[in-house]
Structure 1
């Protein structure tokens, strides 16, 4: 069984040419989980797989990560075979913000008769969630303000930070077994995002060698990160993953 991460987009919010940062976990080439749904994510997903996502995880509610959910609503609602089937996993603490961002506009359909969340199968979570017999860890990250962003990891296989400052303590808990770590990183950090100097200060070599950097600002920035000796993710790229590990005793 082969596991891969398929990066649909790798750009920071302003780097529209690199695509909204989002990734698909694949098993034997088939999509298992889409992570984040920015303004152009649905188009990229449909081009790759020919159908909507069956499962979606939301790291946080900034619009470059949830701005495609209205279009996804329409795609699902007007197809009875898909209406209510796409599971949306999100930390329960983010539900108020997600509701306000994408679901609270009066009359989601002009003719009425539709509630936004009826198009989806909403699954709030805290520590993690089950999907296709696998336990996915959800962990807090450091983006913008405390309690507003959460990464996701599959033990033994990968961790995806979403937007974040460095989080060595969290990664030591969820990604200490050789996992590929997809990590937010630009050339220069700021109070909400990691810079390459932060990576070099906060993480030991054993972690840095497993990083795939994304959410950078431009092609030139990506090339500069590579010139520093780091592996970057590119839009459309598939990265091979280790096979998931057996369940931890505290899973579920």
Structure 2
């Protein structure tokens, strides 16, 4: 089997020309899991695959990562073939925030009679989740308040941080082999996001060849990161992944 990450968008919230940061895990060219659903993500997904996502993982509830979920609701609800089929994996601690931001507006349809989550299969998780015979690890990240953002990893294959400050102690646990590490990184860091100087200060040299940097602020910022010797992810790019390891006995 061939595994890859397809970057639908790689931009920070203000970098609309780069697309909302979102990625699709593919197996043999077919989508397995969409990670995040920003305002433009559904259009990009449909253009690439011709149908809605069968599985979606939400890293956190900022609107550049969930702003497309209302449109996804309408796409699923009004197609009986898809209604209730798309699994949405989300850390249980995020449920109150996600509910408040996308699902709690009175009458998701003007006619009433419909609950937002009826269009989906909501799957709360904490340590991780099963999908298509694979165990995905869920791990906490450092973005704004503690307990409000979570990355996802597939052992042996990849780790995707979502928005975060550096998390070396976490990546040492979930991506300690040959995994590709898709990491939030801008040219200059701030209290909620990683900058390139943070990478150089907190991550060992041996990890840097495995990093694919995304969530940068502009095309020029991406070029500056690349000029410093780092590999950036680009909108529309597919990156080959190592094959995942068999699920651990203690998984699940």
TM-score (norm 2): 0.99
RMSD (Å) for aligned C-alpha atoms? 0.5
Q: Is 1:51 the equivalent of 2:51?
A: yes
* Residue in 1 that maps onto 2:220: 220
* Residue in 2 that maps onto 1:104: 104
For structure 2, which runs of at least 5 residues remain unmatched after alignment? none
Aligned partners of 2:25 and 2:41: how far apart in 1?
14
- 1:195 CA displacement: 0.1
Matches within 5 A, 1:172-211: 172-211=172-211
State the number of aligned residues: 252
For structure 1, which runs of at least 5 residues remain unmatched after alignment? none
Aligned partners of 2:31 and 2:39: how far apart in 1?
20
Aligned partners of 1:207 and 1:246: how far apart in 2?
23
- 1:249 CA displacement: 3.1
Q: Is 1:146 the equivalent of 2:146?
A: yes
* Residue in 2 that maps onto 1:165: 165
Task: Give CA-to-partner distance per residue, 1:134-187, whole Å, 9 cap, x none.
Answer: 000000000011000000000000000000000001100100111000000000
Runs of 4+ in 1 over 6 A off after TM superposition: none
Q: The residue matched to 1:153 in structure 2 has which SS?
A: strand
Task: Give CA-to-partner distance per residue, 1:62-113, whole Å, 9 cap, x none.
Answer: 0000000000000000000000000000000000000000000000000111
Aligned partners of 2:128 and 2:206: how far apart in 1?
26
* Residue in 1 that maps onto 2:26: 26
